[in-house]
Amino acid sequence: MRDPARIEQIISAAHAAADAARLAILPYFRLDTLVTENKYSPGAATESDFDPVTAADRAAELVMRGVLHRMCPTDAIVGEEFAAQPGTSGLTWVLDPIDGTRGFLAGTPTWGVLIAAVDASGPIYGIIDQPYMAERFEGGLGRADLTGPMGARALRVRGSRPLAEATVMTTFPAVGTPSEGAAFARVAGGARMVRYGYDCYAYALLAMGQIDLVIEAGLNSYDICAPIAVIEAAGGIVTNWQGGPAHDGGRVVAAAGAAQHAAALAILGDAD
């Protein structure tokens, strides 16, 4: 995209949507009376059957949709909680109002708001916003930046290093199917350190140069489009487990360098 006015429109709209989402979400965070619904299986007792949604998720998506419809009225919108809104511009906004609702419910600060602008080529711009810590990671359209309590800084991945020196993250220890979990375990077994449960914040950490790999399975497009834009702008790599495009979701590996990416693909590509 080369039109400066259109680029400014996209960036301004994304930040306005993220600002609105912060205001909508924070009154609900760590609120004892927050009501939770289970989209997957009402009344389920185990985590594998628990797909939570709260008033905070819905409120955030609604305000983001309102901002984007006002500022970019011809763009399409796809979000986790509500039906898709068609557009005519060729650009689609892909929204996850709270990525990591389980973490949100547990009171941890590792959930985030995901906003991506996607065209026919894939994600071209994205924001990972952590409202409670006031950290915002943005990437694409010439930007790769973090703003937060410690000021502003450029985002840059740490670069290539051997798997034996790598830090690997994923959200759920089981990762996905038994085969997918076994493949992840083989990667993790060759790494220096493994951490779990960070949801979208793991991708932010990779973009800022703190870790080497994020490996997940069973993702939706709204889980990964914004992280792709941010990580690629910071110099990283995001693909599926076969090395192809990942913006439709599914099995995803994000890497801080070519060496880590190649090592992970050599193992993950054998998963059933």
CA atoms within 13 A on the CB side of 166: 30
d(CA 55, CA 191): 39
R_g of the chain computed on alpha carbons? 18
Query: How many Cβ atoms are within 10 Å of 266's Cβ, its own excluded?
Result: 12
pLDDT tens-place values along the chain, 272 residues long: 789 999 999 999 999 999 999 999 999 999 987 767 775 544 444 455 556 788 999 999 999 999 999 999 999 999 999 999 999 999 999 999 999 999 999 999 999 999 999 999 999 999 999 999 999 999 999 999 999 999 999 999 999 999 999 999 999 888 889 999 999 999 999 999 999 999 999 999 999 999 999 999 999 999 999 999 999 999 999 999 999 999 999 999 999 999 999 999 999 988 88
Model's pTM, two decimal places?
0.93
Is 124 within 8 Å of 115 (Cβ atoms)? no
d(CA 6, CA 12): 10
Domains by residue range for the chain, with CATH? 4-154 (3.30.540.10), 163-268 (3.40.190.80)
Q: Which residues of 38-75 are buried (b: 16+ CB within 10 A; e: fewer)?
A: eeeeeeeeeeeebeebbbbbbbbbbbbbebbbeebeeb
Q: Looking up tokens 């959930």, which residue turns up? A: 111
46-55 long-range contacts, Cβ below 8 Å, gap at least 24?
A: 47/102, 48/174, 50/102, 52/101, 52/102, 52/105, 53/81, 53/101, 54/28, 54/98, 54/101, 54/104, 54/105, 55/28
